[in-house]
Amino acid sequence: MAAVDELLDRTIGSVTVCFGARAGKYPHGNSLLVRGRDAVAVIDPSLGLLPRRAALPRADLVLNSHCHEDHIAGNHLFPDAPWHVHDADRPGFASLDGMLAIYGYPEPIGSAFRRILVDEFHYQARPDAVAFRDGDVFELGGGVRIRVIHAPGHTRGHSFFWVEPDDVLNLADVDLSSFGPYYGDAWSSLTAFERTLDALPALRPRHWATVHHVGVLDARDAFEARLARFRAVIGDREARLLAYLRDAPRSLAEIARHRFVYRPEDAVGWAEPVEARSMQQHLERLLAAGRVHEVEPGRYLARA
């Protein structure tokens, strides 16, 4: 874990961006502290807050953009504050089984990931977690407020947070990275993710903050370029899948092993279920569009 002096902060008005190790690269992340006159909110407490724990302010509320391991890894640092998450992701806070259902990993991957959630990401169940919904506003006092924007796709409840009056939009896991959108869990949706990305340019903050990689963007042209590249990854995956299906009929298991999301050399223990869930969604829409057909049960071929 990084030492405190290796970690950086950036202050934008009432907002302090606490950058995680390696610019918030997974499993680390960039968390936000938002200070109002009457209350302090912590957004997506990550592993990067653990070495800072002695210097952290008392939090009056914890806001989680969604229920994924890297975004709740620092929640346990604030046991006395209420934890908030979108209603659609709240089952992941209620129990560890509820958390695992969001991913939908088969055995033995599910049991191994259960241990990782507890041992490496400090999972603690909070059945009393408070649900929020799109449009809810958290007033921190002195004109400082945080507005919820539901942005599903990555998970069912994935949400942005718009901090006013500083105009900082926390994009959570629309991280604008070269890896591209992640929609590989049981509770993910490629279609919903695309709708979220299509709606994003209509929002016009002064600063865009991501939990991973990018950190903070201040220029709209830089944001738009990053967003276009991020979204293009979806089309690239689909094009590569079509090319793979032109040679011979393939099963979903073969497609997953080939890898279109992760690189073949990436040592990711849950890669195959993520690949299968991601590519299943691409297959379904390619079948609906008539660009792929099922030549025999469970085997798919691209049409000429």
Q: Per residue in 258-275, pLDDT tens? A: 999 999 999 999 999 999
How sure is the predictor about 22, in pLDDT bands with cuts at 50, 70 and 90? confident
C-alpha gyration radius of the chain = 20
Residue 213 pLDDT > 90:
no
What's the mean per-residue pLDDT of the chain? 95
Taken in order of first residue, the domains within the chain and their CATH numbers are 4-218 (3.60.15.10), 247-302 (no CATH)
Token pair in block for residue 82: 């209420």
> Cα separation of 40 and 140, whole Å?
7
Going by the DSSP 8-state scheme, the letter that residue 114 receives in this structure is: H
pLDDT digits (tens, 9 = 90+) for 77-122: 999 999 999 999 999 999 999 999 999 999 999 999 999 999 999 9
User: What is the C-alpha separation between 132 and 28, in angstroms, rounded?
Assistant: 25
- CA–CA separation, 40 vs 14, rounded Å? 10
33 contact partners, CB below 8 Å, separation of at least 6: 15, 16, 18, 40, 41, 42, 43, 56, 57
Q: How many residues are there in the chain? A: 304
- Percentage of the chain beyond pLDDT 70 is 98
State the DSSP code for 57: P
With the CA atoms of 283, 285, 289 and 291 taken in that order, what torsion angle do they form, in degrees rounded to the nearest 10?
Answer: -20
Confidence at residue 3, expressed as pLDDT on a 0 to 100 scale: 42
How far is it, in rounded angstroms, from Cα 36 to Cα 188?
34
Task: Please give the angle made by the CA atoms of 267, 189 and 28, to the nearest 5 degrees.
Answer: 40
Q: Which of 3-17, 206-220, 225-239, 260-274 has the lowest mean pLDDT?
A: 3-17
For residue range 225-245, list pLDDT tens digits in order: 999 999 999 999 999 999 999
Residue 217 β-bridge partners: 208
Confidence of residue 143 (pLDDT cuts 50, 70, 90): very high
- Is residue 205 packed enough to be buried (19+ CB in 10 Å), middle (13-18) or exposed (0-12)? buried
Phi, psi of 64 (to 5 degrees): -110, 130
- pLDDT value at residue 23: 82
Residue range 174-200: mean pLDDT, rounded: 97
Quote the pLDDT of residue 7.
Answer: 63
Of the pLDDT bands very low, low, confident and very high (cuts 50, 70, 90), residue 4 is very low
Predicted TM-score of the model (pTM): 0.94
